[in-house]
């Protein structure tokens, strides 16, 4: 039987054959078979449509699984390379492993690494993988020539989709002949940077036209950083061996230096072990603190001294700042934070490099964490988009998808519409602020077992309602949290609590519309940066609420008076109604009720204690009169 064999299309559930295909990791072509079988068997159009929809979902899941496997393979290769570097013994073996892994992960035909030769004033091939041309493998090229020359001059990665048609760099007959002999077309080059200098270039190339994605460029950049570190470490080892051979009279100094290098190697092993067993950035900081006999902290970019951090980033080394040392945590030109060694002004070069290696390992961990977080954010956003846009989703599938994200669609939720209300200098700044808002909302949703998605120029959140919480409290708390995170006002409108979202996904769209109306009302009332629900707007809330909660409005407004009359058999509600009908005149009210004026005064005093001292102010009086009218309409037999 074929590995991609599927059950007949008349299976009870349309998802079953695709689940079996996912379990077997079948090829993409196999996913067409259930639909083809159904058509061949003359199944109803509705059944075929269900199978096609299930196929689309299964292919999305398959693509997500493949993406995760690819990211796991990339991180594993980086960690293995970092481990190789920690126990560096043979530079050629490490560089060869780096080139082989880069070629394998990117799936290119060829990968190679060139190094500058200061003595000859040119550049030469150090390692090649997948090359078939002897001329290409023996190329030597002048500094500044070819694509590698452009990379070295700008210290930035460059990609050419068609080498021979690209005029951005200097073509030479020798280089072009070697590239033509190898048959290369698309080439990606990333600089090997050591301090402020480019010492070589790491390349990945194909013999056909190809577009390299940003993630692939960043991956090659990480391998290039490891290659530069391997070369740097090898240079240190070479210097040490030369010192051992030439300075017999300085045995004590040599022993000291060997001990330091041994300690650095031990640090590298410990860092590699931390990474491989799933440690985090703070674990790395703790390990380096112990080795350097100081306090090492990881800080976000905004919390580190900006000038010192920029100086260190530009130099490519840790920089001293007062009594501290700062090592930038960077990847692909982006600064992700910093490692700060506190109160340790005297730092020898090897300890300085230990701090720098720790910063490099921390950057790998930050990239891995970001990649995982972005993947989860996309999945949460897709589920919320489906709840907002689709009306015919299978409740069981919705519950299963939510459960994988630790969300419970059967719990009571609140739908929140959030939008930035701070000024933006230009379109780029506004777009960046929106991305920060979406990231903050996604993080909040993940920590609260909810969902978040970008929509209508802002963000929509679906958060569970805790015991004792109200929609208003959730809205205000969310506005404060998001505002602090993105550092500008965020206005949040909330829907009334909603339930049964898996069985009735259309409820989410209605609740979102209600939340947006509350958001618009807050902005019109000049309450930017605040949070509220429809119940906070009094009778205006009736206009904002999606389901017009008339009973709730009446209960909130005159409920205490109604309850008092029902318990005591009094006529406070009738007295208030007559009082407003008589123009708020006690004298006319007593005539209408045929009671003494003192009786009217006593009843109104009791009403004041039940509804609050401000019940006769214009705004409250308007709400109370509307509530009285609605109460009579809801119970016309009452007098």
- Exposed, middle or buried: residue 586 (CB in 10 Å: 0-12, 13-18, 19+)? middle
Q: Given a cut of 90, is residue 110 above it in pLDDT?
A: yes
CA distance 388 to 385: 5
Each residue's pLDDT tens digit, 603-639: 999 989 998 888 888 878 878 887 787 677 555 444 4
Which residues pair with residue 417 across a beta bridge? Answer: 460, 493
Q: Which tokens is 309 given?
A: 């951090």
CA distance 446 to 552: 32
Q: Supply the pLDDT for residue 204.
A: 92
CA distance 179 to 507: 61
Average pLDDT over residues 418-443: 82
Q: Supply the pLDDT for residue 538.
A: 57
Average pLDDT over residues 475-502: 88
Q: Which of 324, 341, 372 is the last residue of a domain?
A: 372
The mean pLDDT value of the chain amounts to 78
Asked which of 239-243, 258-262, 265-269, 616-620 is least confident by mean pLDDT, the reply is 258-262
Q: Given a cut of 80, is residue 171 above it in pLDDT?
A: yes
Average pLDDT over residues 365-372: 58
Q: Same domain, yes or no, for 286 and 397?
A: no
CA distance 631 to 614: 21
261 is a domain residue: no
Q: Same domain, yes or no, for 231 and 344?
A: no
Q: Which of 517, 544, 571 is the last residue of a domain?
A: 544
Q: Same domain, yes or no, for 507 and 454?
A: yes
Q: Same domain, yes or no, for 154 and 211?
A: yes
Higher-confidence residue: 348 or 474? 474
Each residue's pLDDT tens digit, 564-583: 999 998 999 999 889 988 98
Asked which of 189-203, 248-262, 438-452, 623-637 is least confident by mean pLDDT, the reply is 248-262
Q: Which tokens is 565 given?
A: 């009359």
591 is a domain residue: yes
Q: Supply the pLDDT for residue 521.
A: 72
Each residue's pLDDT tens digit, 376-410: 556 555 777 777 776 556 777 777 776 777 788 88
> At residue 447, what are phi and psi to the nearest 5 degrees?
-75, -20
Q: Given a cut of 70, is residue 595 above it in pLDDT?
A: yes
Higher-confidence residue: 134 or 284? 134
Each residue's pLDDT tens digit, 459-471: 999 899 888 889 8
Average pLDDT over residues 239-250: 64
pTM strictly above 0.85:
no
Q: Same domain, yes or no, for 437 and 574?
A: no
Q: Given a cut of 60, is residue 434 above it in pLDDT?
A: yes
Q: Same domain, yes or no, for 404 and 533?
A: yes
Q: Supply the pLDDT for residue 1.
A: 43
Q: What is the CATH number of the domain that holds 220?
A: 3.30.450.40
Q: Supply the pLDDT for residue 332.
A: 62
Q: Same domain, yes or no, for 105 and 57?
A: no
CA distance 205 to 139: 16
Q: How many independent structural domains does the chain possess?
A: 5
Q: Supply the pLDDT for residue 418.
A: 92
* Confidence band, pLDDT 50/70/90 cuts, at residue 544: very low
531 is a domain residue: yes
Q: Same domain, yes or no, for 561 and 486?
A: no
Q: Smallest Cα–Cα separation from 56: which of 78, 77, 82, 35?
A: 35
Q: Supply the pLDDT for residue 300.
A: 73
Q: Supply the pLDDT for residue 19.
A: 74
Q: What is the CATH number of the domain that holds 538?
A: 3.30.70
Average pLDDT over residues 57-85: 61
Q: Which run of H or of E encompasses 359?
A: helix 349-389
CA distance 277 to 304: 28
Percent of the chain residues topping a pLDDT of 70: 76
CA distance 462 to 470: 14
Q: Which of 525, 544, 563 is the last residue of a domain?
A: 544
Higher-confidence residue: 189 or 53? 189
- What DSSP letter does each residue of 385-411 carry, written as one string? HHHHH-SS--HHHHHHHHHHTT--TTS
Q: Same domain, yes or no, for 511 and 470?
A: yes
Q: Supply the pLDDT for residue 638.
A: 46
4 is a domain residue: no
Q: Same domain, yes or no, for 540 and 592?
A: no
**Which residues form the domain of 472?**
390-544
470 is a domain residue: yes
Higher-confidence residue: 188 or 3? 188
Q: Given a cut of 60, is residue 7 above it in pLDDT?
A: no
256 is a domain residue: no
CA distance 545 to 561: 24
Q: Same domain, yes or no, for 102 and 234?
A: yes
8 is a domain residue: no
Q: Same domain, yes or no, for 399 and 536?
A: yes
246 is a domain residue: no
């Amino acid at each position: 039987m074929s590995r991609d064999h599927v059950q007949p299309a008349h299976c009870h559930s349309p998802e079953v054959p695709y689940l079996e295909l996912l379990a077997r990791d079948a090829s993409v072509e196999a996913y067409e078979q259930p639909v083809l079988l159904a058509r061949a068997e003359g199944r109803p159009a509705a059944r075929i449509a269900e199978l096609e929809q299930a196929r689309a979902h299964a292919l999305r899941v398959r693509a997500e699984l493949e993406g995760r496997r690819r990211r796991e393979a990339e991180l594993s290769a980086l960690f293995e390379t970092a481990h190789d570097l920690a126990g560096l013994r043979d530079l050629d073996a490490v560089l060869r492993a780096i080139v082989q892994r880069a070629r394998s992960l990117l799936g290119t035909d060829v990968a190679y690494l060139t190094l500058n030769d200061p003595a000859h004033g040119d550049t030469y091939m150090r390692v090649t993988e997948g090359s078939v041309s002897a001329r290409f493998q023996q190329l030597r090229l002048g500094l500044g020539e070819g694509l590698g020359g452009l990379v070295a001059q700008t210290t930035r990665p460059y990609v050419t989709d068609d080498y021979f048609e690209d005029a951005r760099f200097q073509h030479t007959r020798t280089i072009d002949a070697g590239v033509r002999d190898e048959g290369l077309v698309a080439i990606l080059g990333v600089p090997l940077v050591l301090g402020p200098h480019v010492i070589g270039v790491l390349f990945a190339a194909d013999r056909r036209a190809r577009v390299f994605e940003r993630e692939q460029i960043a991956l090659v950049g990480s391998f290039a950083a490891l290659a530069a570190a391997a070369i740097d470490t090898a240079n240190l080892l070479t210097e040490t061996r030369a010192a051992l051979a030439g300075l017999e009279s300085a045995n004590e100094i040599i022993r000291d230096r060997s001990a330091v290098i041994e300690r650095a190697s031990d640090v590298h092993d410990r860092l590699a072990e931390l990474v491989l067993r799933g440690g985090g950035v703070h674990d790395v900081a703790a390990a380096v603190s112990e080795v350097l006999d100081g306090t090492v902290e990881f800080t976000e970019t905004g919390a580190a001294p900006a000038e010192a951090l920029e100086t260190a980033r530009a130099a490519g080394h840790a920089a001293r700042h007062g009594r501290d040392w700062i090592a930038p945590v960077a990847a692909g030109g982006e600064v992700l934070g910093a490692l700060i060694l506190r109160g340790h002004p005297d730092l020898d070069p090897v300890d300085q490099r230990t701090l720098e290696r720790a910063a490099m390992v921390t950057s790998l961990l930050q990239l891995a964490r970001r990649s995982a977080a972005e993947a989860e954010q996309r999945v949460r956003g897709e589920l919320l988009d489906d709840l907002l846009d689709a009306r015919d989703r299978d409740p069981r599938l919705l519950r299963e998808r939510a459960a994988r994200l630790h969300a419970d669609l059967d719990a009571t939720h609140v739908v929140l519409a959030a939008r930035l209300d701070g000024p933006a200098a230009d379109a780029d700044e506004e777009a960046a602020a929106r991305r920060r808002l979406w990231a903050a909302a996604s993080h909040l949703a993940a920590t609260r077992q909810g969902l978040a998605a970008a929509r209508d120029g802002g963000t929509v959140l679906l958060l569970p309602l805790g015991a004792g919480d109200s929609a208003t409290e959730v809205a205000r708390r969310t506005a404060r949290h998001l505002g602090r995170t993105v550092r500008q006002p965020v206005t949040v409108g909330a829907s009334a609590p909603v339930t049964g979202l898996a069985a009735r996904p259309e409820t989410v769209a209605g609740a979102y519309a209600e939340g947006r109306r509350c958001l618009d009302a807050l902005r019109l009332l000049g309450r930017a940066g605040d949070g509220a629900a429809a119940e906070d707007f009094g009778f205006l809330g009736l206009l904002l609420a999606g389901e017009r909660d008339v009973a709730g409005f009446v209960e909130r407004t005159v409920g205490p008076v109604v309850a008092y009359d029902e318990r005591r058999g009094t006529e406070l509600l009738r007295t208030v109604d007559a009082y407003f009908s008589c123009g708020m005149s006690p004298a006319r009210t007593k005539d209408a009720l045929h009671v003494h004026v003192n009786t009217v005064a006593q009843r109104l005093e009791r009403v004041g204690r039940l509804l609050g001292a401000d019940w006769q102010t214009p705004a409250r009086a308007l709400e109370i009169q509307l509530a009285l009218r609605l109460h009579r309409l809801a119970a016309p037999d009452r007098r």
